[in-house]
Amino acid sequence: MHVIRLTALARRRVSFVAHPVELIDIHRSFGSTHALAGIDFHAEAGRITAVLGPNGAGKTTMLEICEGLQRADSGSVKVLGLNPLTDAAKLRPRVGVMIQDGGLPLAARSGELLRHVARMYANPADVDALSEELQLTPFATTQVRHLSGGMRQRLAMGVALVGQPEVVFLDEPSSGLDPAARREVWKIINRVKERGTTVILTSHLMDEVEYLADYVYILNAGTVIAQGSVSHLTSLDSTDIPTSVKLTGRLSADDFHELNQWAARRGLQLSPRSLEDVFLDLTGRTLQ
């Protein structure tokens, strides 16, 4: 019942911008360090776009430029067709940002904090329904300092969503959660997408990205080194050869189908690459 009520509220606003977040040739340096070296990025309306990369790849810098927290040295950045720096006042009611631990006031009680943030918006979500959906209701009178890491993550998500934003930036949304709680958060993020919200997601959890993302950007050393849907990024090519069989040439979809049939007749099973395999191949590093 609570989910239905919240969904009905959120559907009153839909963005008509084809690419609610768009970056063109973005550069950002800190001294001799090039954090971003010509990033092109766009997120489609009502989709979940994930950004992956090892530490130092430029993810945080890119997102803070989108959020108006940093200025690009050059290039163009638009969020809902507006400049995040010069149009911050116009964007603030339309964009949600997930605040990590350091950004939540420790002395505030979780329920009071959500209601306080909700009052800043013209058409906020039903706070009681949102709290129920995020399983925060039993902790409404608990100070942030006394919440577990998982509960703080849920509260940070609530702060990002309570204004019913058209675009929301979620940084490590299920960090610190147990597997069952993580799945519940994934369901919530999917429902947010279904309401028409554009979601920009960063995560160190490959299974999270594989489950949620409609489109993925992989960053390394300040550049985009790969992009596409999960299925596109994990599709087999000539480098994806099972160790027990030696093949030459390139595998088309038909070739792979025949290879699967050949393996099945011999009691063998072929496993396509995971997103983590792709990431390791491209960057040579694990997410930390």
Q: Which two tokens stand for residue 244?
A: 């027990």
Q: Which two tokens stand for residue 92?
A: 């603030």
Q: Which two tokens stand for residue 246?
A: 């030696």
Q: Does domain 2-230 have CATH number 3.50.50.60?
A: no
Please give the pLDDT value at position 217.
Answer: 97
Q: Which helix (H) or strand (E) holds 233?
A: helix 230-233
Please give the pLDDT value at position 10.
Answer: 41
Q: What is the mean pLDDT of each run of 10 residues along the chain (288 residues)?
A: 39 62 97 95 96 92 95 97 96 89 86 95 93 94 93 92 96 85 91 95 91 96 94 68 53 72 67 78 72
Q: What is d(CA 62, CA 41) in angstroms, rounded to the nearest whole number?
A: 9
8 Å CB contact between 276 and 233: no
8 Å CB contact between 142 and 110: yes
Residue 247, number of CB atoms within 10 A of its CB? 12
How far CA 197 is from CA of 16, 159, 191, 230, in Å, comes to: 11, 15, 9, 20
Amino acid at site 113: L
8 Å CB contact between 30 and 214: no
Q: What is d(CA 229, CA 118) in angstroms, rounded to the nearest whole number?
A: 34
Q: Compute the chain's Rg from CA coordinates.
A: 21
8 Å CB contact between 49 and 217: yes
Please give the pLDDT value at position 1.
Answer: 39
Q: Which two tokens stand for residue 130?
A: 């949102």
How far CA 62 is from CA of 179, 184, 280, in Å, comes to: 29, 28, 21
8 Å CB contact between 176 and 153: yes
Please give the pLDDT value at position 267.
Answer: 63
Q: Which two tokens stand for residue 183?
A: 């799945």
Domain residue ranges of the chain, discontinuous segments joined by + = 2-230, 234-276
Q: What is the pTM of this model?
A: 0.78
3-state DSSP percent of the chain in helix, strand and coil, to 5:
40, 20, 40
- The DSSP letter of residue 82 is B
Bridging pattern class, strands 167-171 and 95-97: parallel
Amino acid at site 234: T
